[in-house]
Amino acid sequence: MDYFVIIAILVFLSALFGYINVRFFKLPNTIGLMLITIVFTLGVFALSYFDDTLLNAEKYIITQIDFKSILLDVMLSFLLFAGALHTNFEQLKVQRGPILLFSTLGVLVSTFLVGTAVFYLLQIFGLEVQYIHCLLFGALISPTDPIAVLGILKKAGVPKKLETKIVGESLFNDGVGVVVFLTIYQFASPSTETITALDVVELFGVEVIGGIILGLLLGWVTYRLMKSIDDYDIEVIITLATVMVGTVIAQKLHLSAPLAMVTAGLVVGNDTLRDSSMSETTETYVDKFWELIDILLNTLLFVLIGMEMLVLTFNINYIIAGLFAIPIILLCRYISLVLPIRIFEKKLDFVPNTNVIMTWGGLRGGISIALALGLSEDMNRDLFLVITYVVVVFSIVVQGLTVGKLVKKLAK
């Protein structure tokens, strides 16, 4: 079975499950697709007691796909560029202060709070895990997932200024979260080299600041190229080349590709630059093209998340630990947002109960699962993968389905 066949099967399943969801369940696509895929996989498990052909085929597909690499190295760049392209730049500029603190200080505080709390939680279950490995889990679960957030908030009726904070934070904090994860990963990996504080600052600075600078440069070059011509076909291809070539450059220079793509998308999507670089026809085609890319990759991603059940180790203690981790992670997120909100709430006139809504609306998704899959066996990969999966499924299904009602009740 070659890659084309695997992609064809995944697109077929995405189309089939998407049709079933729209026709019968009418849930938000991200939630519906993941739930239907999980039910499908459970059905395949049940069927395997009589005939394991379908189970073996599904297992083969999952083993042939490097979920971590596909999401972090390929899909994420397209999804973040598409998300940033349609984000209100002016609102983002107004809210830049809290967004900056949410996506940096918030992620760091949450990482250490979650890591510490989970370290003691696991001891209660008799699971001896090193503290540094719990910090790794804190780093991978702390960033909110822009892919899950963007898809669900569109239908939740969140006030615009609050939506900008949640979306802006999720666009930037996953890039910061990946850098924090990689930094702690270096400490946790067995190595003969001593890692100093300077090494950490250098890695963090180069990845984050370098990624943003690259994004600004890519966005500016794209803008100049699009301004100099008026041909919507070629201009759409230019935006596609920006994402693909930009991702390759970021990876070669060891810069943060997610942050580079968010920055480039914000520059190209900026209303002022749009007016001078794109005709009305070009704007329509660029927007529709990236909306289609966004929808296609989203459907594939959430089908894959559902299928990742097959790589889990079904240990009852792991699952119970995951259920206990849910309120801990929510509490830690709430605490991590307190200081940034206190600093800016009077100046920027925050929506009532912003902290509660941002805590419940900060969904986890594929990025957390991808990072958990990147753990090595000696970092308790099986344990943290199960806990991450439980948290992500709860986040997308329970939080995703109820955030709209919570907003209507609290944001008055």
pLDDT at 394 (0 to 100): 96
pLDDT at 405 (0 to 100): 86
pLDDT at 332 (0 to 100): 96
Q: Model confidence at 167, in pLDDT bands (50, 70, 90)? A: confident
* 155-161 mean pLDDT: 73
- 149 vs 304, more confident: 304
Q: Model confidence at 193, in pLDDT bands (50, 70, 90)? A: low
Least trusted range by pLDDT, from 153-157, 203-207, 269-273, 294-298: 153-157
Alpha carbons 222 and 228: distance in angstroms, whole number: 10
The pLDDT tens digits of the residues spanning 234-259 come to: 999 999 999 999 999 999 998 999 99
